[in-house]
Amino acid sequence: MKGAVLALFILGLSAIGFGQTVPADVPVQKGYMVGPGDEITGKVLGEPQFDFVATVDEDGKIEVPFFDKPVVAKCRSERELRADISALLAKYLRNPQISVRVTERKSRPPATIYGEVNKPQEITLMRKATLVEILAISGGVKDEAGGMIQVFRTRAPLCSDGRDDSDWKVTGGDATDVPSRMYSLASVKLGKEEANPVIYPGDVIVVQKASPVYVTGEVVAPQGIYLKEGGMTLTEAIAKIGGVRREAKTKDIKIYRLKPNSKDREVIAANYDLIKKGQQKDLMLEPYDIIEVDKAKKSIGQTILEVVTGAARTGLSSMTGGLGSSILY
């Protein structure tokens, strides 16, 4: 059922092209969990001596007047904290009426999203949010977005249940490296739950840019093309830019490919004619490939024919220059 709801939400995003702004003015009080550094203000109706303003300490506790022990505030909502303090006040007051508010929120750094999104930004999370929501608030992804989204977890979640914290891997061998996870943009758009994690304060989301390939020479529209998730073949790339021109040397298309760990390129030859006939395997392109389609050389027979035809036309024109014209009915 949850998967179906998520899929419907994704379809809603698809309907706006995954690229229009979704309002971020959501209620912030309901799901906010208190953390160290937050300021809590409590007021007791008709009993101002019990009013207090307290800052949550590093242990997640606050000092309340007349209470023997600090009150645990960490990972408690305003409603839960009000109930806790009300129960303690019942020792001193009959049916105490108390309001508890988080008047300053300092325990959570913003989540950050940048890369190939329309509105890179920092987002202050006052409640639980998912990757899909963050993408929507950021205006969706650009056309240049690649197939992957990387989420870096810069700090342990403050009030996590632990289910989303396992299997976070460090990107490098250094102990100071930040753990991260990779998510498929295609899976996100399909509404798969495993590709829609909870985003926590301090998380950094990077929507990666697709790597380009370049098609040049005797093609309809020479240009760079972005490689999306799943890759692209030579024939797909040529089709994407409108196909080849009549003059193209399709039997000998060259692909200039970067060698591993080098700035040098190797040359790969492809017979486009045989590939289209299914007699040669289509080639998968790699990032930064340069596809060159040369102009075909004219055959000797074609050249002689053009010369003879041109000469005949020139001679005929010179011979008929002074003659009149007739109409044969």
Q: Nearest-5° angle of CA 13, CA 14, CA 15?
A: 90
Name the residue among 191, 136, 104, 103 with its Cα closest to residue 26: 136
Query: What average pLDDT does this structure show over 40-58?
Result: 93
pTM (2 decimals)?
0.63
pLDDT in tens, 87-137: 999 988 999 999 999 999 888 889 999 999 999 999 988 788 999 999 999
Mean pLDDT computed over every residue of the chain: 80
Q: How confident is the model at residue 5 (pLDDT cuts 50, 70, 90)?
A: very low
Please state, for a pLDDT cut of 70, what percent of the chain lies above it: 75
Q: Within 149-288, where are the H helices? A: 185-189, 234-240, 272-277
β-pairing verdict for 129-130 and 198-199:
antiparallel
Q: What is the pLDDT of residue 324?
A: 37
Task: Name the 3-class secondary structure at 189.
Answer: helix
Q: What is the pLDDT of residue 163?
A: 56
Higher pLDDT, 255 or 305: 255
User: DSSP assignment, residue 279?
Assistant: S
Q: What is the pLDDT of residue 124?
A: 87
φ, ψ for residue 135, nearest 5 deg: -60, -40
Q: What is the pLDDT of residue 155?
A: 85
Locate 275 and state its tokens: 């590939």
CB proximity list for 33: less than 8 A, separation 6 or greater: 74, 75, 76, 77, 158, 159
Is pLDDT at 139 greater than 90 in this prediction? yes
Q: How confident is the model at residue 322 (pLDDT cuts 50, 70, 90)?
A: very low
pLDDT in tens, 140-189: 999 889 889 999 998 888 887 655 555 565 555 554 578 889 998 888 98
Query: What average pLDDT does this structure show over 48-70?
Result: 92
Q: What is the pLDDT of residue 133?
A: 95
Whole-angstrom distance, CA of residue 281 vs CA of residue 259: 21
Higher pLDDT, 228 or 42: 42
Higher pLDDT, 235 or 310: 235
pLDDT in tens, 220-277: 999 999 988 778 999 999 999 999 999 999 999 999 999 988 889 999 999 999 999 9
Q: How confident is the model at residue 311 (pLDDT cuts 50, 70, 90)?
A: very low
- Of 56-70, 73-87, 294-308, the range with the lowest mean pLDDT is 294-308
Q: What is the pLDDT of residue 22?
A: 32
Contact 293, 243 (CB under 8 A): no
Contact 217, 294 (CB under 8 A): yes
Query: Distance of alpha carbon 178 from its chain centroid, rounded?
Result: 19
Dump the DSSP string for 93-146.
SSS--EEEEEEE--S-PPEEEEESBSS-EEE--SS-EEHHHHHHHTT-B-TTEE
Higher pLDDT, 303 or 226: 226
Whole-angstrom distance, CA of residue 16 vs CA of residue 23: 13
Q: What is the pLDDT of residue 260?
A: 87
What are the structural domains of the chain? 2-28+108-209 (3.10.560.10), 39-104 (3.30.1950.10), 211-293 (3.10.560.10)
Q: How many alpha carbons fall within 13 Å on the CB side of residue 296? A: 16
Contact 145, 209 (CB under 8 A): yes
